[in-house]
């Protein structure tokens, strides 16, 4: 069974050879950009192309990985399956039917994505968040990711990361995603910084404490400036 874009497809044993043969080599485990480019220079675009090469030829071209490629392109993979693998990150994203350039619309979408991410993170309340990121795929299919270390997740931070990523392309985009990465630990510690899903609530708490401490000493204009 293959799961793609939240849709399940059943591949029967009789369909496996044709299904595997049509797969782009980029779908194979371990094939990155550099390997894909080298394959393209050899006229290898699909698993069917890979299947025309012997294990010796693939080993000569790709070293030890060549033997793995020989098996992968035939649907053979003896790596153990670990159904309990701990996720290194959690993210949500949205792909749009039409490219978007309206930044006001982007801000509304970001708010919706934060709500979705909050729901997903409820299943990971025992994890320590290491960083927050925002991913954009532009209309020309180039993509970029902006990331910031820290455990705070707020609209202000996601807006900042979005603008940082958007300015790199400064063109209409077709996909927008946000997420967090986790630290290596699987449980909270006593001094772990909790996720902040408010709009800089800790900053507001400090401000309110400061205003209370200096009550009667500040002029109205100074208070308004601090609160702005």
Counting DSSP H helices and E strands in the chain, the numbers are 9, 6
Instruction: Outline where DSSP puts E strands in the chain.
Output: 2-4, 7-9, 89-100, 129-138, 143-149, 173-182
Note the pLDDT of residue 194.
46
What is the Cα–Cα distance from 135 to 166, expressed in whole angstroms? Answer: 9
Residue 85 C-alpha from the chain's centroid: 17
CA 183 to chain CA mean position, Å: 15
| Pairing, β 143-149 against β 89-100 | unpaired
What's the number of CA atoms in the CB half-sphere (13 Å) around residue 222?
Answer: 9
Give the pLDDT confidence score for residue 124 in this predicted structure: 85
* Contact criterion met (CB below 8 Å) for 100 and 73: no
What's the rounded Cα separation, in Å, for the pair 2 and 25?
Answer: 17
20-25-29 Cα angle (round to 5)? 90
224: its two tokens: 């308004």
* Domains of the chain with bracketed CATH: 2-72 (1.10.150.20), 89-197 (3.30.1490.100)
Burial 138-175 (b: 16+ CB within 10 A, else e): beeeebbebbeeebbbbeebbbebbebbbeebeeebbb
Mean pLDDT by 10 residues, the chain (228 residues): 53 87 92 90 95 95 93 89 78 89 85 91 87 92 91 86 91 92 63 44 52 55 48
Q: What are phi and psi of 154, to 5 degrees?
A: -145, 165
pLDDT given at position 209: 58
């Amino acid at each position: 069974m293959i799961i793609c874009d939240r849709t399940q497809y059943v591949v029967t044993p009789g369909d496996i050879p044709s299904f595997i043969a049509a797969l782009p080599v980029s779908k194979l485990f371990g094939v990155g950009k550099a390997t894909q480019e080298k394959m393209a220079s050899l006229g290898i675009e699909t698993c069917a192309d890979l299947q025309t090469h012997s294990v010796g030829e693939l080993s000569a071209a790709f070293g030890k990985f060549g033997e793995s490629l020989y098996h992968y392109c035939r649907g053979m993979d003896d790596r153990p399956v670990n159904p309990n693998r701990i996720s290194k990150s959690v993210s949500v994203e949205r792909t749009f039917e039409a490219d978007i350039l309206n930044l006001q619309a982007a801000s509304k979408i970001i708010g919706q994505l934060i709500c979705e991410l909050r729901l997903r993170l409820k299943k990971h309340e025992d994890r320590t968040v290491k960083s927050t990121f925002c991913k954009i795929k532009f209309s020309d299919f180039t993509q970029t990711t902006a990331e910031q270390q820290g455990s705070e997740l707020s609209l202000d931070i996601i807006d900042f990361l979005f603008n940082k990523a958007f300015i790199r392309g400064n063109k209409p985009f077709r996909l927008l995603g946000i997420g967090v990465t986790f630290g290596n630990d699987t449980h909270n510690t006593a001094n772990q910084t909790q996720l902040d899903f408010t709009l800089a609530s800790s900053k507001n708490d400090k401000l309110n404490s400061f205003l209370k401490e200096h009550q009667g000493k500040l002029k109205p204009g100074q208070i308004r400036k601090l609160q702005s």
